[in-house]
A and B are shown apart, each in its own frame.
Chain A
Amino acid sequence: MRAEVLKGHLDGLLLAALEDGPRHGYGVIEALRVASVGTLDLPTGTVYPALHRLERAGLVRSMWSEKSGRRRRSYELTAAGVKALAHHRGTWREFSGTVSSLLAGGAWPAPA
């Protein structure tokens, strides 16, 4: 799937990937790839900075741990992030429903 198709929906996807519990950055990329059966293969140069932006916006928080002798940064949703995810879901349902209806040959007004 081309990256430009995801514009505007990346934040919602990242928040959804964190809904079940904390993940580190590469874990988020893997989760999206597996859950979408390979359709969403987001570049690391997009996902990691987006997670930092979501943290700056207060929607996720990060914590450091040690794993296999390496420092690992994991992210989890904040209360504001849970609300934002619900908002993204509502917006997407409305948007996708409308676009699906129009693309399926909805009731277009007669041409002038």
Chain B
Amino acid sequence: MASPGVTGPIPTLAADPAARRILLRWLDEFTATLFGGHRDRAAIVSELSDGLHTAAERRLAGGGLTAEEAARAAVAEFGPPRLAAAGFLGEIVAGQARRVAVGLLVCGPVVGAAWLATKGLLWPLRPAPLLTELPLLVTVLAVAVPAAILAVAAGRVGRWMAITGPALAPNAALVAALGCVAGDATLLGALGYAALDGATPTPTVWVAAALSALRLGAAVVGARRCAAGRAALR
């Protein structure tokens, strides 16, 4: 609807290159400053882009402003893009940590089952690495599994525990990842020691070893991601 006194075509954001440039410039700086990987940033940028354009459209619909003025007012309302991006840091870090923990919880039973299937399958017959290192592995599991569950549930735990903050999830996920690194390194180390001692791993043992090696690599990447998130929060 045209405002009183305004003649001619109703201004729109889409038809005004200057207005579009103002909004895109804000979004570009916001995107560049936002922490996290492409997936985390893409969803947030889409959401903020819609909000920013809506803010400009509301001002334009209110009348009395050109499209460029409406865009400038919207950008002023949203504030410095760096400040807006900084507000998302905690949530992005927590989301990353949650994904690391979910990955560890999903592949844990797979790797565990693969090693359980190797029981007594080294030649000449001797206890498989899983059995020789059992006490240490049980200790690692007793720490890593609860830590991973806590990282996944950190958001919900925050409803009841006042001590939570954005650092809970990355701290817990880091403990879980380091636990997996310790567990897999122990299993692979024991296998290597047995092989040096003359034992011949069977195909089943090689499969378990390969899965452990893959998880060890993924856990190292996950641990580094969580550590980077913790560092960014400080």
Contact = CB atoms under 8 A, between A and B. Distances in A.
B172 to A, nearest CB: 14
B50 A24 contact: yes
B55 A26 contact: yes
Interface string B183-211: 00000000000000000000000000000
Interface in B155-175: 155-156, 158-159
Interface of B: 43-44, 46-55, 57-58, 77-79, 83-88, 90-91, 94-95, 98, 154-156, 158-159
B159 A26 contact: no
A59 B158 CA distance: 11
Nearest to B55: A26
Contact of B155 (A24, A29, A30, A58): A58
A44 B155 contact: no
Contact of B51 (A24, A52, A56, A84): A24
Contacts of B95: 56
Contacts of B86: 45
Contact of B58 (A30, A43, A46): A30
Contact of B53 (A25, A53, A70): A70
27 contacts: A26-B50, A26-B55, A30-B58, A43-B84, A44-B77, A44-B78, A44-B79, A44-B87, A45-B79, A45-B83, A45-B85, A45-B86, A46-B87, A48-B47, A49-B90, A52-B91, A55-B155, A56-B91, A56-B94, A56-B98, A57-B159, A59-B159, A70-B50, A72-B47, A72-B50, A73-B47, A84-B159
Counting chain A residues whose Cβ lies within 8 A of the other chain, the interface size class is: 20 to 34
Nearest to B43: A73
A47 B135 CA distance: 48
Contact of A25 (B47, B91, B98): B47
Main secondary structure, interface of B, reads helix
A26 B51 contact: yes
